[in-house]
Structure formats: structure tokens, C-alpha cells
Amino acid sequence: VLRNPENFTVTTGINPGELYLKIKGSNAHSIIFEYTEDPPTPTSVWIRTTCTKSRCTVSGLEAGKRFWFRVAAVGSRNQVAWGETVLSPYVQ
């Protein structure tokens, strides 16, 4: 049974313009991370990045901005289990 991703954290990366994403508690085949600028609106575009591990670095972000991130686990049969949506710290 595919579990929802848990304990989703977003922290500043080691380089300017980076945010580091991490989850715990998923048995997923791959992980989908999506993000949009703060504040989200009904017309916000969510940018998707797929990772095979439970952590990922998003780079090229504009310094001084915050982003909303959401996460989903994808199973081996393409089933999807959505997890938390969190607000990032300010990008350095």
C-alpha cells in the first residue's frame, strides 16, 4: 500500500537561490515536488520536479522570495498519494 509522504520540510540550500526539500515516511517509487510563488492564487502555475529519492534541491530561485511546496508519492503502478503543502523560508 502506498503511504502518503510525511514530515515534509523545506530549508535554505547551501548555495544562493536554492531550497532543499526532504520527506520521511514514504515507500514511493518516485516523489513529485511542486512549487509556486507566494502568495498562491487560483491562476498560479505549479512547477513540477520529480525525484527518485526522498530529497531534492531546487535551484535558480529568486532571492528574497518565498514559495509554496506540495509533495506527492508515486507508486510503481502510477498511483499517487498527496502529502503536505508547506511555505518555504525566504530564498537566500
Collect all residues with Cβ–Cβ distance below 8 Å to 39 and sequence separation of at least 6: none
- Smallest CA-to-CA distance from 9 within 28, 33, 29, 30 is with 33
Q: Please tell me the predicted confidence (pLDDT) of residue 51.
A: 83
CA 62 to the chain's CA centroid:
16
Q: Is the confidence at residue 44, as pLDDT, over 90?
A: yes
Q: Look-up: residue for cell 530564498?
A: 91
How high is the mean pLDDT of the chain? 93
Burial (CB < 10 A; 0-12, 13-18, 19+), residue 73, is buried
Say if residue 64's pLDDT is above 80. Answer: yes
| Residue 28 pLDDT exceeds 90 | no
Q: What is the mean pLDDT of residues 68-92?
A: 95
